[in-house]
Amino acid sequence: MPEQPEPGVLPDVADWLRRRSWSAADRPLDRLLAAKRAAGPAGTVSVVLPALDEEPTVGEIVTLIRTELMEHVPLVDELLVVDSGSVDGTAAAAADAGARVVHRDAILPRLPAAPGKGEVLWRSLLASSGAIVCYIDADLREFDPAFVSGIVGPLLTDPAVHLVKAMYDRPFEADGAVVPAGGGRVTELVARPLLNLHWPQLAGFVQPLGGEYAARRSLLERLPFPTGYGVELGLLVDALELVGLDALAQVDVGVRHHRHQDGQALGRMAATIYRTALERLDRTHRLKADADLVRPLLTQYTRTTAGFTPRTHPVPATERPPMITVPEYRDR
């Protein structure tokens, strides 16, 4: 007899959670290698790390992926770090550890780069070749290679799956103190309410904003990419629309340790994510509001010697078109 769904959870979400949520341990590496060999070119895997001033962590991540998933076990075919303008030793650390390093501005140079993580992820499709693309943030500490093998696993073993998000615990760690579930503040305060209210089919994702996810190139090349912090929410919402809930999945990979941002940086992130959601609601004619009701600016306050000083930041909504429409991508 099937489990009774949690009260308030949509029946199709409860069903999805049972069928499309796994643990990394559910697919041992030998099973993944067998599936990869059977898939041929469709089983090639590119791992992409977008990086900006991540010298303290990027080398260890690259080393572990290279040694554990390329040399000991040939699961990953390509390991790419895309540097978006680091002023520290990020590029050198990544190259020394064994990654191929490409500067963001060297990819599609005819198009001036927009700031933001999403811009780097979008351009990386031109610089990578795998049929499966796995994105990993470059600021992770205590990195576990299961972050990669866990999320590419369903794509290698189930042709009906097109995008897989990692799920994990996100402790908040600061000044020696640890709050076990204190991370992911923007997720809980902004993204999760937006998804539950407007895209309830996506309410089952534990870490909708997580930077660790893998997808088939055939899906990614058809999606628009918000250039900034809204990229994870935008890709998830657009993938739901394009391939449906049953093509999406999530895998438990344990615990994510990473660098935390300050409150004002989180505020700018939250505003960008909210605007990304508004753009999609408007695009599907689900947002009934005059254009002048949306003011794409965020004013924050910092105490200075003169008192609280305002600083206003734009809330960007720039998006890149599906990569399949770019001539350089089609003709490569």
Who wins on pLDDT, 134 or 313?
134
Kindly state the average pLDDT of the residues 74-78.
98
Asked whether residue 305 carries a pLDDT value surpassing 50, the answer given is yes
What's the pLDDT score for residue 203?
A: 86
What's the pLDDT score for residue 211?
A: 94
* Separation between Cα atoms, residue 130 and residue 140, nearest integer Å: 23
Asked whether residue 260 carries a pLDDT value surpassing 70, the answer given is no
Asked whether residue 2 carries a pLDDT value surpassing 50, the answer given is no
What's the pLDDT score for residue 310?
A: 67
What's the pLDDT score for residue 184?
A: 63
Res. 10 pLDDT band, cuts 50 70 90: confident
Kindly state the average pLDDT of the residues 14-24.
92
What's the pLDDT score for residue 300?
A: 63
138, 270, 118, 134 alpha-carbon torsion, rounded to 10°: 50
Query: How does DSSP assign 42-99, residue by residue?
Result: GG-EEEEEEESS-HHHHHHHHHHHHIIIIISSTT-SEEEEEESS-SSSHHHHHHHHT-
Please give the backbone phi and psi of residue 47, each rounded to the nearest 5 degrees, phi first.
Answer: -105, 130
Q: Where are the chain's structural domains?
A: 11-169+204-260
> What is the pTM (predicted TM-score) of this model?
0.88
As to burial, measured by CB atoms within 10 angstroms (0-12 exposed, 13-18 middle, 19+ buried), residue 287 is middle
% of the chain surpassing 70 pLDDT:
87
Dig out the tokens for 276 from the structure.
Answer: 């990304």
- The answer to whether 108 and 126 have CB atoms below 8 angstroms apart is yes
Dig out the tokens for 121 from the structure.
Answer: 């992820």
- The answer to whether 99 and 62 have CB atoms below 8 angstroms apart is yes
* CATH top-level class of 11-169+204-260: alpha beta
- The answer to whether 273 and 298 have CB atoms below 8 angstroms apart is no
Please give the single-letter amino acid code of residue 280.
Answer: R
What is the maximum span of the chain, computed from C-alpha positions, in angstroms?
67
* 117: CB partners within 8 A, 6+ apart: 50, 84, 211, 228, 229, 231
Pure H helices in 180-262: 185-186, 192-198, 217-220, 231-243
